[in-house]
A and B are shown apart, each in its own frame.
Chain A
Amino acid sequence: MSASLLRIMVVVDVVGALATDTLDGSVWLVDSNKTGGSTGEGTRQLKTAVRKGDQLVWTAMSLECEAYVAIEAIAIDPAYCEVTRGVYPGTDISYWLGRIKKDPGKSMVPYNILFKLGSRAGAMSLSVPDVPAITGGRTD
């Protein structure tokens, strides 16, 4: 049972979020683990199936190439997943790397994401309880 690297793409309608002053209706998540047991692909309540030792890499993507979005922070229970921020070398584009320390088994471990959008001074996060999560039971 080997550890894998799973990608999670967070798609954001930046213009929609800035116009309505909320991320409701403007965020969708997709991961690379559909065949390994993840559910909720393409929705805000993505449940990524993981195993101890797995690495998760989160990146943010704006619907428009002229709009800026970046993940400022990921709030997840550090007992299950430890997160750090990284930058693609020689660029100013960041990603977040999570290391799964403990298998969530049958439980859901929800997490939240803080975003920087456009030139808005304050960051925005998702409104609970409509948030993504990690769960155990990843299959090969």
Chain B
Amino acid sequence: MAQQLGIIVIVDVEAALRAGTLEGCTYFFDNAGPFGTSGMGTDKLVSAINGTHWQDGSQASEHVLNFLATGVTSLPITLPRDYQLHRTRLQEIATLAATRAVAGNAAKSNAASDIRTTLARIRLPQLSSIKLPSGHQVEHVLLNHFGEPVSEGATPDTSHVAQLPPVITGISGEAVEKGIIYPAQYGSPDLVNGGWYWSATVATASPKVWSYTLHILLYRFVQDPANREPRWEPVPLTCEGRLSISSKPMRNGFTGGGTGFLPIGMPH
């Protein structure tokens, strides 16, 4: 079975956009901390990959890297897929219920002004447009950091709007060119950006420190006083990561012994 390593990249999008670089604004993590990874929480992560090969030098096992990027000011990645649509639907149901309740009071003498006041309080969500690198535009409901839709017409402080998560658009560099890692995008039923994530297998027979380049797309939030609808503009940047492939044998994290199947209890 291939060993799976998750590499998480947390981007301080605001700082990165201001500085024009991801350097110093990115925090890398992986789950091989106890196995020798260094640089956790910095932009100089060196992931420990314990390689294995047969005595004749041929590949014995491979390692799989799964990449995940998110922003410090983005909503948690554990929120259900399409949360912004789900949230908008809940708000629409509440709006319709409030409208209906108002209609129920139509017979009263002060009805007209009551109705006007209540209707004026109904809020619609603020839409924004995302400009994709391909040139297409996609609509996105603005949410705040509590998962609430931002009201239409409000001009919120940028710090109150949940940041669109950064997107990894590619993996290149020495490790790819030299055939150490084989990256591709894979689908997932549950994910932040359209259901794709980057994953790469590692050919673990070459012990050395190898570098790779992550291509990350950030979205800059732009509020244009003239234009009614705010927009997100794509800003592509890159940053480097490192893999340290060693010829130490892989250890089973639970037993401390060699890798292989865990003993499974037979059904009673």
Contacts and interface: CB of A to CB of B under 8 A. Distances in A.
Contact between chain A and chain B defined by CB under 8 Å: yes
Contacts of A97: 146
Contact of A88 (B12, B34, B42, B75): B75
A64 interface: yes
Nearest to A62: B78
B87 A89 contact: yes
- Interface range on chain B (Cβ under 8 Å from partner): 35 or more
B33 interface: yes
Contacts of A25: 33-34
A53 to B, nearest CB: 12
Contact of A34 (B12, B75, B86, B87): B12
A9 B29 CA distance: 13
B90 interface: yes
A31 B14 CA distance: 11
A19 to B, nearest CB: 7
Contacts of A42: 27, 40-42
B253 interface: yes
A59 B163 CA distance: 15
B76 A93 contact: yes
Interface string B191-214: 000000000000000000000000
B157 A88 contact: no
B87 A28 contact: no
Nearest to B31: A63
A16 B34 contact: yes
Nearest to B89: A90
A17 to B, nearest CB: 10
Contacts of B87: 89-90
A100 interface: no
B17 to A, nearest CB: 10
Contacts of A2: 157
A32 B161 CA distance: 13
B15 interface: yes
Interface of A: 2, 4-7, 9, 11, 13, 15-16, 19-20, 25-26, 28, 30-32, 34-35, 41-43, 57, 59, 61, 63-65, 86, 88-91, 93, 95, 97
23 contacts: A16-B34, A19-B254, A26-B33, A28-B27, A30-B10, A30-B12, A30-B27, A32-B14, A32-B72, A34-B25, A35-B12, A35-B18, A42-B27, A63-B29, A64-B6, A65-B6, A88-B83, A89-B87, A90-B87, A91-B79, A91-B147, A93-B79, A95-B145
Given A35-B18, A64-B6, A97-B146, 12 more contacts: A9-B10, A11-B8, A15-B253, A16-B34, A57-B145, A63-B31, A65-B68, A88-B146, A89-B90, A89-B147, A89-B148, A91-B83
